[in-house]
Amino acid sequence: MTIQFNDETFRGDYSFRNSPWAIKRFPFPFHEDSYMYSVNMEQHRGGPAGSVFEKRFDVDEHYVSEMRDRALVLAEDPLRCQSLPHMTLAGWDLLELIMVSKSEDYPDLFELHRDGDRWRWVNKPLGIDDTFTFMDETTLPYGPLEYITRQTQGDFAVLDQRDDNLWMDAGMVTTQADWSLDFDIGMNFFEWHAPVPLAHELGIFKRALKFLMNVQQGAPARRLNWTMTVNPLLDTSPENYHKWGIQKTELTAENIGAKQHLRVELQTFYRLPRSNALVFPIRCYLIAFQDLVTVPKWGRRLHRVIRDLPEELATYKGFIANRPLMIDYLSRHDDGLPTSPGVWADLETEPPLQK
């Protein structure tokens, strides 16, 4: 299908909306009625047609507006995109991966014409038509990482692999769930995950790192992560927390359906060919509670997950104070009926709400 790009904002008047199409394809992250950290990784080999898993780099109705929001963040704070000197090659690797994937997966939106080192990149939604020399930084308006990720939804962490560890040595981070690239750049896998509760003790990070270090070129992997955000604010950065933190206190029983958003990250893992770096795209999807509960199974399940979530996780994810309001709202969308296994909406087979 051709995508109608929304003209919307993720700040100020928060005009962001999901169309019925976007609601139906939302990556609901819970495959059962409870949640705990686990090594939840699988191969990234596409998915059902129309789902966010189908393409290598999903493009949706929010694309153009998200890229506008990213440009605003970078204008205010250029430190959101950084690359340590040894990571330039990985930047070119990433640029190639994205240009090749997008032009193959969305030929009506993106074109890549290659004549030796001379490349022409056409990005129709953003009105870009650039010709440059591959591997020659002077022929692009930004470094390769910044150039291509200003045109690709989601944050990007680029990991150097050495000393049996992964090192976050480059990234583009403007839609993060409250962590700072500027602070974490240069850290290894265990260091940047240090603030996460419980998972270290469960041995999750040891096993996850082992899995990641063995990801091979051409065999990407993926996982989902989630948190909660009041208002459809993409830039929930620690840098700006003193500005947006107050919004968490503005939630009421009246506005929660519209204001409270489930925030889901589709995280993928690709091995890059020349640098042997690993790239970690973190794609953020937002959905308002009132839209989410239009899928009866999701309303039932989200209530049970949030109600039973361990306190440490609700605290770490920053919604412990608002949890009672959430449970109150969500309980009205849970009739106690059983839910089908798996994440899919199952609209045809799951019964409507019985209350």
Which residues lie near ligand HEM (CB under 6 A)? 37, 39, 41, 157, 159, 166, 168, 177, 179, 184, 192-193, 195-196, 199, 204, 208, 212, 223, 225, 227, 280, 313, 316-317
Q: Is the dihedral of CA 6, 239, 209, 167 positive or negative?
A: positive
* Binds 39: which of ligand HEM, other proteins, none (CB < 5-8 Å by kind): ligand HEM
When the beta carbons of 133 and 249 are compared against other proteins, the nearer one is 249
Nearest to 291 by CA among 22, 11, 62, 53: 22
Question: Minimum CB separation from ligand HEM for residue 46, in Å?
Answer: 20
Q: Which two tokens stand for residue 322?
A: 């608002």
- By CB under 8 A, the residues from 203 to 242 that bind other proteins are 238-242
CB under 5 to 8 A by kind: which of ligand HEM, other proteins, none does 316 bind? ligand HEM
Tell me if 183 contacts other proteins by CB under 8 A: yes
Residue type at 117?
A: D
The rounded distance, in Å, linking the Cα atoms of 71 and 64 is 11
Distance CA(353)–CA(337), nearest Å, equals 9
Catalytic residue from among 25, 56, 80, 223: 223
Closer CB to ligand HEM, 304 or 333, in the complex: 304
Site string for other proteins, 13-52 (x = CB under 8 A): ----------------------------------------
Plot region of 218 (φ>0 → left; ψ -120 to 50 → alpha; else → beta) = left
Nearest approach in angstroms of CB 21 to ligand HEM is 27
Which is nearer to ligand HEM, 240 or 331 (by Cβ)?
A: 240
Specify whether 271 is catalytic.
Answer: no
End-to-end C-alpha distance for the chain, whole angstroms: 36
What are the beta bridge partners of residue 81? Answer: 172
Euclidean distance between CA atoms 66 and 100, whole angstroms: 21
Q: Closest CB to ligand HEM among 207 and 274?
A: 207
DSSP H/E element including 20: helix 20-24
Quote the least distance from Cβ 187 to other proteins, whole Å. Answer: 7
201 binds other proteins (CB under 8 A): no
CA nearest 322: which of 234, 240, 228?
228
* CA 22/CA 297 separation, integer angstroms: 17
Q: Report d(CA 197, CA 300) in Å as an integer.
A: 27
- Annotated catalytic residues are 223
Q: Which residues bind other proteins (CB under 8 A)?
A: 79, 180, 182-187, 190-195, 200, 238-246, 248-249, 321
